Amino acid sequence: MSLLWQLARGYDLVQGSPWLHTERRTALQQRIVGQMQRMLEVLDGRGAVLWHTRMSLVASAWLGAVVLDPNSPQHAALQVRAQGHLLNNFAALALTEAWPEGSS
């Protein structure tokens, strides 16, 4: 799952390139979508409970979300889920006013 932010960053860098023809664009988007679906399943569950772990997963999911096409219903649904997790983490951080696990 840690591959998601790297895929998203790479995709963002080559989006306007002539190298990225339709087949490659579709293949990259499908990989990003697959990684996002797995990451969002973890975030939707109860497994990622430590702040640092959860925020890292949320940040990766959000980075994947922002490179996807918002005009695609499937992509838009993933973007909404990722944004929801990001906003939930910000709300939790505002309540605690600190990183609960202490400094690292």
Q: What does the pLDDT look like over 55-99, one tens digit per residue?
A: 889 999 999 999 998 899 999 999 999 999 999 988 887 887 666
How many domains are contained in the chain?
A: 1
User: Does 18 reside within a domain?
Assistant: yes
| Nearest alpha-carbon partner for 7 in 28, 23, 22 | 28
d(CA 12, CA 68): 9
User: Does 102 reside within a domain?
Assistant: no
d(CA 57, CA 40): 8
Q: What does the pLDDT look like over 8-50, one tens digit per residue?
A: 999 999 988 888 888 998 999 999 999 999 999 999 988 776 6
State the pLDDT at residue 48. 73
- 2 band by pLDDT with thresholds 50, 70 and 90: low
User: Does 84 reside within a domain?
Assistant: yes
Entry pTM:
0.81
Domain, as residue range, for 59: 3-96
User: Does 76 reside within a domain?
Assistant: yes
